[in-house]
Chains A and B, each alone.
Chain A
Amino acid sequence: MANDLVVAPMLVVLASIVAMLALRPRPRAQRVASVAGSLAYAVAVGAVAWLIVLSPDAPGAATYQLGGWAAPFGITFVVDALSAFMLTIAAVVGLAAVVFSVVFVDRANQGVFYHLLFHCLLLGVTGAFLTGDLFNLFVWFEVMLMASYVLVAFYGGPQHTAAGFRYLVLNVVGSVLLLLAVGGLYATTGTLNMADMSRRLADPAAYGIDPAPVVGLGALAFATFSLKAGLVPFQFWVPGAYRSAPLPVAATLAGVTKKVGMYAIVRVYFTVFAGATVGISVPGAAGASPLAFLAPALLVMGSASILVGGLGAIACDTLDEMLAYSSIGQVGFIAVPVAIAAAAPPGSLRRLGLVAALVYALHHALAKSLLFFATAAIRSATGTHRLSDLGGLASRAPVLAGCFFVGSLSLVGIPPLTGFFGKFLVFEAAARQFTASSGLAGGAVIAVVLVGAVLTILYTTRAWTRSFWGRRTPAVEGATVRRSQVAVLVGLAALIVCLGIGFDPVFEFATAAAEAALDREGYVELVGPAGGDGA
């Protein structure tokens, strides 16, 4: 029963894709079916999360062998707490984005392939979170990217083809690198199944493999994953692509697809590579696990992302550009605790780092979607999202302003919103790493996170005062705010407040997810790849 549930989210998305195609001649029915499909997806994910991971008598994790082929030969789908947590983020953001698309995107644009592509995006994301096979991960990445290429290039306004083309070329190069990593790992370990690979890397002598190439191959995969996540120095596609995509899609790209990159880093490094020991010593990397090589690189990239994103966001003169830069910075806030966890010895600090990253990922997905939707509502009300053309919206549209305010506060990290807990855990991880190592690096991390938090306050305040306070501009004076759009915003804002107040279950879920990510042996045992005699 539990095992059959694993594929449920994927089957729901597949069914809605077919429904989208079949209902193409009837746009109205298609929109209804799209909302129903994403609702069903959310229900399926909820069932997976509750029945497999959260409920008291749940097994905690489950696997599914596609087509009945046993691991490590067939493709395994795995749901553990980590997958379930990420799926939940995807389901919430996906549902909100579909509903908001229905009331925001041009009816004519929706009619063509918009909903179909959106569900394809969701399909890729679902597959990437579920799969337990490295090559299959690559395939789901491509499914996700294909849909996002079209959404970025064709559904934005005119003149966005250039941004779409850059996005495409960069991601093709990224995919090639990932393919190199996957091929190399296959040649090194003789398997593609993540659990099998993890088992073989933990005991290389028994399987007659030399794990040294894993460091370099892992670095190739890491480069691709951080390209997807938009970490510095791979961040330059982000602003262009986000401004070209329709705003609900931009919210999904920032809220979900970026997290797929971070998820892949956590899954591959903490669950697959963590057991390996390699006899290479590199200055700056303590220890001989691939994790030790990840830590300094990810730390530098995350810190740079925080600074670049924050500084970029301050200099922007449109709301959507500001949000795009801000999401670069916020992904940095997710990367830094992951790096801290990678540097820490196995134990509570490592777990704390991952919990911080996961909670922050959830918070960022919610807050950034809310802000993107609010920007979209502002644009459809006033026809602009240039800061210089806005002003005085707070008195013209108080509810919309309230929602934007909640989103901004959450991004800044004011209690009791979810953002507070995200920031708090990140700071706690940084502080504990400082006391544990008390080196120069630890202090620098705290400094960077602090500067990043201040920058967040600066740019959200700037956006708030410029667009919501001050004298009403002509654009704002003639604004007509659509009730249906504001209703979605209020729903999301309420969710942020509720999750912030009732934070305990979220924290428990995130802790379970972090433990699942770190439980390498448990993962191997769960998948149970055959042929374990080492022959």
Chain B
Amino acid sequence: MSVALATVVGGLFALGTFLLLRRDLVRVVWGVSVLSQAANVYLISMGGVQPGTHDTVPVLDAHGGAVPETTDPLVQALVLTAIVISFGTTAFALVLTYRAYQENETMDVQEWR
């Protein structure tokens, strides 16, 4: 599980960094958004997945049944917040891209004045 998560985080960061360094403005916005997602996946993985006990899932104590694996709910709350923020940022970056295109009539970062 953690190996898979680590691979995903690493891959996303690599992809995000690669996109961020492109000349095409839209790719840069993609890079920004991929980087934020990479951070979100990383945050989720920081919570860890633990074998559940009746201590961690008290509701099952009274109702019986097998206890599943549990994750930390706090990091999920953090990730929700982070997603909303990166959503707003990406929307704003897209608007800026459009405006930059109108002003400079090019999507190429290096041709900006």
- In the complex, A touching B, CB below 8 Å? yes
What residues make up the interface of A, taking CB atoms closer than 8 Å to B? 135, 139, 142, 146, 149-150, 153, 158-159, 161-162, 164-165, 168-169, 172-173, 175-176, 179-180, 182-184, 186-187, 192
Decide: B103 and A176 in contact? CB cutoff 8 A. Answer: no
Which A residues lie within 8 Å of B86 (CB)? 172
Contact of B89 among A146, A179, A182 (CB under 8 A): A146
Which A residues lie within 8 Å of B99 (CB)? 153, 161
Decide: A187 and B48 in contact? CB cutoff 8 A. Answer: yes
Decide: B81 and A169 in contact? CB cutoff 8 A. Answer: no
How far, in whole Å, are A135 and B93 apart by their CA atoms in the complex?
23
Contact of B103 among A159, A182, A186, A187 (CB under 8 A): A159
How far, in whole Å, are A211 and B89 apart by their CA atoms in the complex?
33
Known contacts A146-B89, A187-B46: A176-B39 contact under CB 8 Å: yes
Which A residues lie within 8 Å of B112 (CB)? 162
- Which of B96, B99, B103, B113 gathers the greatest number of chain A CB atoms within 10 Å? B96
Interface residue range, chain B: 20 to 34
Contact of A165 among B47, B48, B96 (CB under 8 A): B96
Decide: B46 and A161 in contact? CB cutoff 8 A. Answer: no
Which B residues lie within 8 Å of A161 (CB)? 96, 99-100, 103-104
Which B residues lie within 8 Å of A159 (CB)? 103, 113
Decide: B103 and A183 in contact? CB cutoff 8 A. Answer: no
Which A residues lie within 8 Å of B100 (CB)? 161-162, 165
What residues make up the interface of B, taking CB atoms closer than 8 Å to A? 20, 25, 28, 32, 35-36, 38-40, 42-43, 46-48, 74-75, 78, 81-82, 85-86, 88-89, 92-93, 96-97, 99-100, 103-104, 112-113
Decide: B43 and A169 in contact? CB cutoff 8 A. Answer: no
Between-chain CB contacts (< 8 Å), 29 pairs = A135-B78, A135-B81, A139-B81, A146-B92, A149-B92, A150-B92, A153-B99, A158-B103, A161-B103, A169-B20, A169-B28, A172-B32, A172-B35, A172-B36, A172-B93, A175-B36, A175-B89, A176-B36, A176-B38, A176-B39, A179-B39, A179-B43, A179-B82, A180-B39, A183-B42, A183-B75, A186-B75, A187-B46, A187-B48
Which A residues lie within 8 Å of B43 (CB)? 179, 182-183
Closest CB in chain A relative to B78 CB, distance in Å:
6
Which B residues lie within 8 Å of A179 (CB)? 39-40, 42-43, 82
How many residue-residue contacts, CB under 8 A, span A and B? 81
Closest CB in chain B relative to A194 CB, distance in Å:
15
Which B residues lie within 8 Å of A158 (CB)? 103
Which B residues lie within 8 Å of A135 (CB)? 78, 81
Q: A142-B89, A186-B46 are in contact. List 9 more A-B contacts (CB 8 A).
A: A159-B103, A162-B113, A164-B96, A173-B32, A175-B85, A179-B82, A183-B39, A184-B46, A186-B74
Known contacts A158-B103, A161-B99: A172-B89 contact under CB 8 Å: yes
How far, in whole Å, are A184 and B75 apart by their CA atoms in the complex?
11
Decide: B42 and A142 in contact? CB cutoff 8 A. Answer: no
Which B residues lie within 8 Å of A168 (CB)? 32, 89, 92-93, 96
Identity of the chain A residue whose Cβ is nearest the Cβ of B48 in the assembled complex: A187
How far, in whole Å, are A175 and B97 apart by their CA atoms in the complex?
20
Closest CB in chain A relative to B61 CB, distance in Å:
19
How far, in whole Å, are A176 and B20 apart by their CA atoms in the complex?
13
Which B residues lie within 8 Å of A172 (CB)? 32, 35-36, 86, 89, 93
Closest CB in chain B relative to A108 CB, distance in Å:
18
Which A residues lie within 8 Å of B88 (CB)? 146
- Which of A146, A153, A179 gathers the greatest number of chain B CB atoms within 10 Å? A179
Identity of the chain A residue whose Cβ is nearest the Cβ of B93 in the assembled complex: A168
How far, in whole Å, are A164 and B104 apart by their CA atoms in the complex?
14
Decide: A173 and B35 in contact? CB cutoff 8 A. Answer: yes
Closest CB in chain A relative to B101 CB, distance in Å:
9
How far, in whole Å, are A153 and B99 apart by their CA atoms in the complex?
10
Which A residues lie within 8 Å of B35 (CB)? 172-173, 176
Closest CB in chain A relative to B42 CB, distance in Å:
6
Identity of the chain B residue whose Cβ is nearest the Cβ of A149 in the assembled complex: B92
How far, in whole Å, are A149 and B95 apart by their CA atoms in the complex?
12
Decide: B103 and A153 in contact? CB cutoff 8 A. Answer: no
Identity of the chain B residue whose Cβ is nearest the Cβ of A158 in the assembled complex: B103
Which A residues lie within 8 Å of B47 (CB)? 187
Closest CB in chain B relative to A112 CB, distance in Å:
15
Which B residues lie within 8 Å of A173 (CB)? 20, 32, 35
Which A residues lie within 8 Å of B81 (CB)? 135, 139
Closest CB in chain A relative to B96 CB, distance in Å:
5
Closest CB in chain A relative to B33 CB, distance in Å:
9
How far, in whole Å, are A178 and B100 apart by their CA atoms in the complex?
28
Contact of B46 among A149, A153, A183 (CB under 8 A): A183
Which A residues lie within 8 Å of B36 (CB)? 172, 175-176
Identity of the chain A residue whose Cβ is nearest the Cβ of B103 in the assembled complex: A161
Closest CB in chain B relative to A385 CB, distance in Å:
20
How far, in whole Å, are A79 and B28 apart by their CA atoms in the complex?
40
Closest CB in chain A relative to B30 CB, distance in Å:
12
Closest CB in chain A relative to B43 CB, distance in Å:
4
How far, in whole Å, are A169 and B31 apart by their CA atoms in the complex?
9
How far, in whole Å, are A149 and B82 apart by their CA atoms in the complex?
18
Identity of the chain B residue whose Cβ is nearest the Cβ of A141 in the assembled complex: B85
How far, in whole Å, are A162 and B108 apart by their CA atoms in the complex?
11
Identity of the chain A residue whose Cβ is nearest the Cβ of B88 in the assembled complex: A146
Identity of the chain A residue whose Cβ is nearest the Cβ of B31 in the assembled complex: A169
Decide: B78 and A183 in contact? CB cutoff 8 A. Answer: yes
Identity of the chain B residue whose Cβ is nearest the Cβ of A188 in the assembled complex: B46
How far, in whole Å, are A176 and B86 apart by their CA atoms in the complex?
10
Which A residues lie within 8 Å of B42 (CB)? 179-180, 183
Closest CB in chain A relative to B51 CB, distance in Å:
18
Closest CB in chain A relative to B105 CB, distance in Å:
12
